[in-house]
Amino acid sequence: MTDIVMPRLSDTMEEGTILRWLKANGEQVARGEDLAEIETDKATMTYQSDVDGILRILVAEGATLAVGEPIARVGAPGEQDASDASQPDASAVSQPDVHAAGEPREQAGGHDGDAQAAGDGGPAVTPAGPEGERVRASPLARRIARESGVELHGLSGSGPGGRIVKADVLGAAGSGSGAAARQAPGGPLSAAVAPEAQEDVMTAKGQTTSVELSRTQQTIARRMAESKATIPDFSLQIEVDMEACVKLRGELKGLSHAEAGEQGAPWHGGAPTYNDMVIKACALALREYPRANGSYRDGRLALHSRINVGVAVAAEDALVVPTVFDAEEKSLGEIARETRALAERVRAHTITPPELGGGTFTISNLGMYGVASFTAIINPPQAGILSVGSLAPRAVVHEGAVLARNMMTLTLVCDHRILYGAEAAQFLARIRELLQTPSALTL
């Protein structure tokens, strides 16, 4: 038998969640066939088998395991290994809330707070009762029971399969019946508080639904909190006159339309977007200011030889950052085609791990939503992130007259350990210069 382990599908992945098995237990699988959908810290990806044989599933859908932990075995028909006698049948694996080392999530370290307080629709947690009997309860129900001093053992659950849910615990706490009414002295629900007052406090916000974060959302939350807590950042803002870029894009759109017309095919918007122009301008500026293309790790500055620009793409309930590699060497048309293809693969959940790694700088654009300017959070360990606001006509003084010009605001957020104010300002000014004279972007 050959073990199939939780693969490392991104450079920062530490654990993954089996969202769906694409092959059934006992089914024949071939090398290269889709085996499972795995949620990583960056995206949901399809994992392919690298061996041939009969599949034996070891963990249920919804299980979360560390990279390198066995998730299945593949072998010849009828083949067994020495561990088979002690392994439970895959069909009996019914508790998906397993953490990195096979422990219940509540006992494993590394995640707490709201990520642990899953809603009533989340996976069941099965603590052992006083007589060894396992009690099925949602994580939210367990938290409320712990805070209110309610004993779960002996409660009747109204959830699926008899699982104890929030309503069961609240009902037991309010009624004060049997073992469910056990109160800790000085606990959150003091005996001095009437049940009616307790119920008022519990329901003051109306019906509350707790939603468990996906693996990607948990990673985003952790990394962004880490960034704000550990990076001494500062931001610079600059106004860019985009009139020349608007004119250039109009000309490129006309050329694309003419070429499509000659071929008798409809034009599907093949001209570069303003964001593509920002990517190209940023990449050229990064070549001139290599510290902005660096990163900070363990008290050292790493300067990277390749300029790989990450482009933030809004996915379903998450933010994914695919990478345009060697952006300074690519033409504006190549960048436009690549960014469109990457965004489509992100939204179709077909993006691959190599396309999500290796970024040396990030661009985030909310201008399409009418946001004039904003301050993004640095993606560690990168030196900075460029926030792109909306492009809109504004009244400005141009050549001694007040005119309506197409303007755009760029905000550069920098790690002060890597970039200092003067160099960051020069880098941002160079981006503006390239956008205001965009002929260099087409070379």
Active site residue 416: yes
Phi, psi of 187 (to 5 degrees): -75, 180
Nearest of 283, 435, 432, 419 to residue 360 by alpha carbon: 283
- In angstroms, the CA 74 to CA 400 distance is 76
| 136: its two tokens | 């099925």
CA distance 77 to 63: 26
Cα–Cα distance, 156 to 367 (Å, whole number): 52
Measured CA to CA, the distance from residue 325 to residue 347 in angstroms comes to 20
C-alpha span between 212 and 77 (Å, rounded): 39
Buried-exposed string 293-321: b where 16+ CB fall within 10 A, e elsewhere: bbbbeeeeeeebeebbbbbbbbbeebbbb
Convert 280-325 into a string of H (helix), E (strand) and C (coil): HHHHHHHHHCHHHHEEEECCEEEECCCCCEEECEEECCEEECCEEC
Neighbouring CB atoms inside 10 A of 400's CB total 6
Task: Collapse the DSSP code of 383 into the 3-class scheme (helix H, G, I; strand E, B; otherwise coil) and give the result.
Answer: coil
**DSSP symbol at 59:** S
Are the CB atoms for 114 and 131 separated by under 8 Å?
no
- DSSP character string of 211-226: -PPPHHHHHHHHHHHH
Within 13 Å, how many C-alpha atoms sit on residue 148's CB side?
Answer: 28
CA–CA dist 13, 7 (Å, integer): 9
Q: Active site residue: 257, 304, 349, 416, which one?
A: 416
Helices 243-262 and 421-436 meet at what angle, rounded to 10?
A: 50
CA 29 to CA 45: how far, in whole Å? 18
Residue positions annotated with a catalytic role: 416
